[in-house]
Each structure stands twice: as structure tokens, then as C-alpha cells.
Amino acid sequence: MRTRVKICGITREADARAAVAAGCDAVGLVLHAPSPRAVTLEQAGLILAQLPPFVTRVGLFMDAGTDAVQAALEALPLDLLQFHGHEPPEACDAFGMDYLKAVPMAEPGWARAFMARYPRARGFLLDSHGPGQAGGTGRTFDWASWPGDVDRPLILAGGLHPDNVAAAIARTRPWAVDVSSGVEAAPGIKDPGRITRFMSEVRRVDRESADA
Ligand SMILES: O=C(O)c1ccccc1NCC(=O)[C@H](O)[C@H](O)COP(=O)(O)O
């Protein structure tokens, strides 16, 4: 099985092109103004225009409110939403769009109960933040608290980078991994070399698993 890769926090068209060239499966745009990786709807439109077919376009929100999400959906060709805040299930379900719900893993032990509250989520992004906290921390969480097989795809996030992503995949066997800080030169500024190394590490551990 091939581990999919989402590269999040893209703020520049050239970085989107570099992520696609390196073979990522999804690009995440942070539509949460307080983030150093936030993009405007106009910037997001230009970035998304760089993406070819078969690269999933993810819009990331954090307690944005219905109007802001609706405005983004009217302005942008998003394929998938990601809700990173306190959004209740009915708020996530309200747009008739597939979505990922971020699961705060800083406090282990409650992931399964948290995910059970979102029966219509397409998948879950298990990240190192605490409840109500932003992502993009560059910090890992304890992968021993990984909940294992649940009824929907799990995406591992939080503090991944080229030198730990292989071990992270070997330990958790996620459907996908998500990375932001770990492939950056500075917040929001991706480093093409780190992106390439990250992707080759993912392919290496997948190959080794297939050969085992
Ligand atoms: O990336 C941000 O700046 C951000 C801000 C507020 C809410 C969520 C945010 N990012 C969510 C993501 O999906 C990140 O890719 C994820 O937290 C992993 O980030 P990192 O630890 O930097 O790889």
C-alpha cells in the first residue's frame, strides 16, 4: 500500500509546483488568517490553478464560521475541507463537502471517542496540537498513542520531516502523512529540497514494507 502525502501550508505558486513535481497527493491551503501560512482567497485561487488533475485541493479552516467557509467554496475549486478547530459535526457536515477532521493528540486516550462524534468525516488528521490549538507546530505527538485501525482513513501529522517520516510510517502505518514545518525554510516558505527528500523517504519505507 502506498502512503499518500499531503503538503500543507503552501503560500506560493512555485512551492505548489515543487510539491506536485515531487509527487505529493494533496496540497493544503491554510484559510485561517492568524496563521503565518494563511493565504487570501485570491492567493489561494492562483495557487490552486497550478495544480493538475489527481492532486487533491484541500482548504483548511479553524473555527471559521459558516459564511467564511461558504465564501471560500464559492471562490475556490476545493476538493476537500479540513476542519482544525472546535467545529461540531453538524458544522462540518453543513456544506455537503467531503472533509477531514483534525484530532488533537496532545492529550492521548480520547482519539476514538473524538472521532466517533464525526460519523460523516471522510477521514481524520491526527495532529500534535491540543484542543483548540492551532496546528503547524512542528512538534510530534507520541506515536504509541496511535489508535490503529478505525473505520476510516487516518492521516498522521505533527512534526514530520525527512529524517523521521520513515520511522513514523513504520510505527503507525497511516493511510497518509501530512507535513508543513518539516519541509520549510521558514513558516510558509517551502524548501523544494526538503520536499523532495521527504517524498523519497516515504517511497523508501513503502518499498521496504512491500519487500518485507
Ligand atoms: O499550519 C498552520 O499554520 C496551521 C494553523 C492553524 C491551524 C492548522 C494549521 N495547520 C494544520 C495542518 O494540517 C498542518 O499541516 C499540521 O498541523 C502539521 O503541521 P507541522 O507540524 O508543521 O508539520
* Alpha carbon distances (Å) from 49 to 45, 52, 64, 68, 81: 6, 8, 23, 21, 17
**Least trusted range by pLDDT, from 4-8, 61-65, 97-101, 145-149:** 145-149
In this predicted structure, the answer to whether residue 109 has a pLDDT above a threshold of 90 is: no
Task: Tell me the sheet residues that pair with 4.
Answer: 176
In this structure, the residue with its CA closest to atom 2 of ligand 1 is 136
Alpha helix positions (H), 76-182:
89-93, 111-116, 165-172
The Å distance, Cα 212 to ligand 1 centre, comes to 33
Residue 212 confidence class, pLDDT cut points 50, 70, 90? confident
In this structure, the residue with its CA closest to atom 19 of ligand 1 is 136
In this predicted structure, the answer to whether residue 1 has a pLDDT above a threshold of 90 is: no
Q: pTM for the full model?
A: 0.97
The Å distance, Cα 136 to ligand 1 centre, comes to 3
pLDDT digits (tens, 9 = 90+) for 37-64: 999 999 999 999 999 999 999 999 999 9
> Can you tell me the mean pLDDT for 144-148?
93
Select from 114, 127, 195 the least CA-distant residue to 156. Answer: 127
* Alpha carbon distances (Å) from 91 to 20, 96, 120, 168, 198: 31, 10, 11, 31, 34
Residue 80 confidence class, pLDDT cut points 50, 70, 90? very high
Active site residue 92: no
Q: Do 156 and 191 form a contact (C-beta atoms < 8 A)?
A: no
* Alpha carbon distances (Å) from 173 to 23, 118, 155, 161: 19, 22, 9, 16
The Å distance, Cα 60 to ligand 1 centre, comes to 9
Structural domains of the chain, with CATH: 4-211 (3.20.20.70)
CA distance 172 to 143: 7
30-34 long-range contacts, CB within 8 A, separation 24+: 30/60, 30/136, 31/59, 31/60, 31/61, 31/64, 31/68, 31/72, 32/60, 32/61, 32/62, 32/64, 32/84, 32/134, 34/134
| Tally of residues, the chain | 212
Q: Does the model's ipTM exceed the 0.95 cut?
A: yes
Work out which ligand 1 atom sits closest to the CA atom of 37: 3
In this predicted structure, the answer to whether residue 187 has a pLDDT above a threshold of 80 is: yes
DSSP output for 24-81 = -SEEEEE--TTSTTB--HHHHHHHHTTPPTTSEEEEEESS--HHHHHHHHHHS--SEE
| Residues whose beta carbon lies within 6 Å of some atom of ligand 1 | 8-9, 28, 30, 32, 35, 37, 60, 62, 84, 125, 127, 134-138, 157-160, 178-182
Q: Do 64 and 89 form a contact (C-beta atoms < 8 A)?
A: no
**Which residue in 15, 25, 127, 178 is the catalytic one?**
127
The Å distance, Cα 8 to ligand 1 centre, comes to 7
Predicted confidence at residue 88, as pLDDT, reads 97
